[in-house]
Structure 1
Amino acid sequence: MARDGLPTLRIAVVGTGLIGGSVLRRLAQTEHEVVGWDLDPGTRTTGTDLGLAFADRLDDALAGRDVVFLCGPLSSLPTGLAEVVAAAPKHCVITDVGSTKMAVAVAAERAGLAGRFVGGHPMAGSERAGLAAATPDLYVGAPWVLTPLGVPGLPAFRLLARLVLESFDARVVPLDATVHDDIVALASHIPHILAGALATATDRSDVRAAVLSLAAGSFSDGTRVAGTPSARTTDMLINNRAAIARRIGLVRSALDDLVDAVVAGDAERLLSCLSEGRHARLDLLARHTEPASRTFTAGESYNEELTYLLELGASGGCVTGCQIDGDRVTYAVLKPATP
């Protein structure tokens, strides 16, 4: 048994780049039995050289597994899901680690997997790529989004929540898939666009060399994610283009306000705009949460449980514990503190 009563699980990690490789390396340090598989033979060799268990065939990796982490490129996830379902046992719970959730959620629902598939998105990463860059501590303390597909997905959600909390020391954020994609458009994807724009503008400028020689923290911080492999960023942005289109207007409006105030020499308007942004930045650095708990009885309040979880995540809260006692489940949570 793993700690807190979670049974020892047989787990497969399909796709072992930075994200999947970090999942595999972390699970290899736990009581769970984990095996990796990757389409690239070189990656499988690298993993074996690192002392990790790898299968040569996908069906061998999936045989008898209780949980599968699907970690391939974002655009491959719907197809990869179908391949995993065809080879994995009927009881197997499947999750993914993609940075957008709607496309794979739709594929799972169409395949009748609402009770077995829970979308996932660990909110951690690096501008580096590949299994060699993977680290077992990548997700420690990080928010890990889980998106159950309605009430049928709650048992699978509970299992994955306990696994994420106990094995990765992450924080579980329950969200609806559509809400998730809207949030990450502003929290992650549009920042990639802005970083790419600043880095590209510098590359095209006639003072490129001087800018790079004088670049201080603001430029380095503002362009950090522009160093992410371009194919990975392209995949992410294209797959979340609907949510980005819904949210980019807010960014354009704010940028126009700032630029117009600078060009007009309107110090009062500029101060107001900058102060508004500074307020959000300071809130990010000084967010306060308060602990709470909630208990549900299985079978009697599934709808209430699902609503509670999704509202918790959408409000900025997270799950820090999930204890199952017979037909009762108790969630320990952190909620945004009341001002």
Structure 2
Amino acid sequence: MKTNCFFYRKKKYYIPPNGVVTRKSYSNIALIKYWGKQNNKIQIPLNSSISYSLGEVYTVTRLIYKEKKKSNLPIRIFFSGKEKTSFLPKILEFFHRISLYCSYLRNYNFTIETYNTFPHSSGIASSASSMSSLALCIMEIEKKLVSSLKEDFFLKKASFLARLGSGSACRSIYPGLVVWGCHQSIKRSNNLYAIPYPYDVHSIFTKIEDTILIVDDEPKKILSSKGHQLMNNHPYARDRLKCANKNMNKLISILKIGDFQEFGELIEHEALTLHAMIMTSRPYFLWMKPNTLNVIHTVWDFRKQSKKNIYFTLDAGANVHLLYPIQEKTFIIKWIYSDLFAYSKKIIESFCL
């Protein structure tokens, strides 16, 4: 595994006085969840994770850079056309963290214009798509400065930078199944950046639908970053890490043989385990809402009666992802709108890239 030094960019280059770059990046849904960060580290996960990037759930970021005239680093942020000063502390911290690896940023003032195709801060990994799209924009600037930059390095460094803004953002750099965090069974996996899943995948897992039920579109009262911190002294943290590593090994086998039932039961177990950790932390709290549970029970009843391959997963929030093979979409999507629409404020039809 490469060290941080691999990504340093200290050399002086010709700096264009201004410019504009635009990049889109997708949100992702983790199958094996990472929960908790190593102490005294910056965005280093306690366990490895694997996710699908989502086709219709993304952030578009336009980064305008102009030659700096003052000694500080002023940044303005606009979200969906409105200036968002509340986003500024996190963005300033991100630029501070990456300045060692992107020294050219000190030459510019920035305006960030961004929008999502989904609600932000509601548990659909908006930080993953937003920070990864910003990291891709920054790498587009670096590409202008270093014409010899290769695509493989471009993506690795974009993932590395995105991680310093939001851990799960490093997985959003790539399409498909993506792994982040060291795991002994996955070659080249590491804690510094994500990699595309390196092994064979059964064809049934290459075309999966992800229908998202927006149960609650309001920003979460407890952010994911707070939940990660609570893992540091969690009484069940050690058992959770063992479980996550064991589940990753199970998933590697499942992805190869194509057992969708085993796949679905595993991702549901992972989702409920994540929320169990949240409910048993100190202080404890709940992200699920009553309609989250209504959806889960309705899905269980429908699956038992219909024998259809539809399974749920949850991120750090109340909203529900429903995963199922594209071959069963016609029947399942009609059922979702007829039986689950009442439990949601909005339904987003997406798919796994």
TM bucket by the smaller chain?
under 0.3
Higher relative contact order (CA 8 A, sep 6+): 2
TM-score where L is the length of structure 1: 0.25
Give the helix-richer structure, 1 or 2: 1
TM-score by length of structure 2 reads 0.24
User: Which of the two has higher C-alpha Rg?
Assistant: 1
The structure with the greater share of residues assigned to strand is 2
